[in-house]
């Protein structure tokens, strides 16, 4: 076991930790929250879903029902009045910099959770820990980061983790993904594919593809597009930890 602050001795350790932890968070968001919970395109075995839920609790404090409700409402009103986070309605700069604010505003609206958050986990761990004490997870993560990286570097690593999803998901995907990029499908909203090699965000960069077929567990629609989230799902399925309900064929 590493001793206090032992991972702060060289610059690359905290950088690598933040990148790997951030990618892991992106993967948990795209597989568990997005494809499994929101769109039901893949069913995860409890053994696979629980670690993802716990990691999201530690690294984001996201409440599953809130995230699912916000995203379902986004699909219902994409780039129209009622969309929780459209750059066409609110401005690209506002969504990129204040995406998390619009998320919180949406889930606090009366009736949103009841209408759009149906079917999300309601087991003991969700009721008594992950949802009711979501603040505790990120507090424990702060303790872990302090232990690994010390009093100076630890809080910096933790800050990067806390800003990761608000920036990359709430800001970049919800903002840039509806403003800049290429369109494979002429859908009614303004969704865009940001890059065809979707590694950094686990496949979420292929945003136009997703809006064209939201129920598909696979986001790549053309031969040169890579959806690493789909690859992780296939790996889980190979071990019996996931079952694909629907995936669009290339």
Is the whole model's pTM more than 0.75, yes or no? Answer: yes
The residues of the chain scoring below 50 in pLDDT are: none
DSSP secondary structure string, 114-133?
A: HHH-TT---SHHIIIIITTT
CA-atom Rg of the chain in angstroms: 18
**CA separation for the pair 8, 15 (Å, rounded):** 10
Rounded to whole angstroms, how far apart are CA atoms 94 and 12?
32
Q: Please give the Cα distance from 40 to 85 (Å, whole number).
A: 22
How many Å apart are CA 185 and CA 115, to the nearest integer? 28
- pLDDT tens-digit map of 66-84: 999 999 999 999 999 999 9
Q: Would you give the distance in Å from CA 29 to the centre of its chain?
A: 3
CA distance 41 to 46: 16
Report the pLDDT value the prediction gives residue 193, as an integer from 0 to 100: 96
Burial class (CB in 10 A: 0-12, 13-18, 19+), 222: exposed
Write the pLDDT tens digit of every residue in 165-200.
Answer: 999 988 899 999 999 999 999 999 999 999 887 787
**What integer pLDDT is reported at residue 199 of this predicted model?**
82
């Amino acid at each position: 076991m590493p001793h206090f602050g032992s991972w702060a001795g060289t610059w690359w350790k905290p950088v690598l930790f933040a990148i790997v932890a951030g990618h892991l968070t992106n993967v948990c968001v795209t597989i568990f929250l997005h494809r499994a919970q929101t769109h039901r395109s893949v069913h995860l075995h409890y053994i696979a879903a629980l670690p993802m839920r716990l990691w999201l609790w530690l690294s984001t404090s996201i409440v599953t029902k809130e995230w699912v409700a916000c995203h379902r409402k986004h699909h219902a009103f994409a780039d129209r009045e009622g969309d929780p986070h459209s750059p066409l309605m609110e401005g690209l700069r506002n969504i990129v910099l204040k995406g998390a604010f619009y998320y919180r505003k949406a889930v606090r609206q009366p009736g949103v959770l009841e209408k759009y958050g149906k079917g999300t986990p309601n087991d003991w761990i969700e009721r008594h820990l992950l949802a009711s004490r979501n603040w505790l997870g990120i507090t424990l993560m702060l303790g872990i980061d302090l232990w690994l990286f010390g009093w100076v570097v630890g809080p910096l690593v933790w800050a990067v983790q806390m800003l990761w999803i608000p920036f990359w998901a709430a800001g970049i995907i919800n903002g840039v993904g509806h403003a800049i990029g290429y369109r494979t499908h002429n859908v009614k909203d303004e969704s865009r594919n940001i890059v065809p090699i979707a590694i950094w965000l686990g496949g979420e960069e292929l945003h136009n593809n997703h809006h064209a077929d939201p129920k598909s567990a696979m986001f790549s629609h053309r031969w040169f597009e890579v959806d690493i989230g789909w690859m992780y799902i296939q790996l889980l399925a190979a071990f019996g930890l996931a079952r694909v309900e629907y995936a669009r064929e290339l």
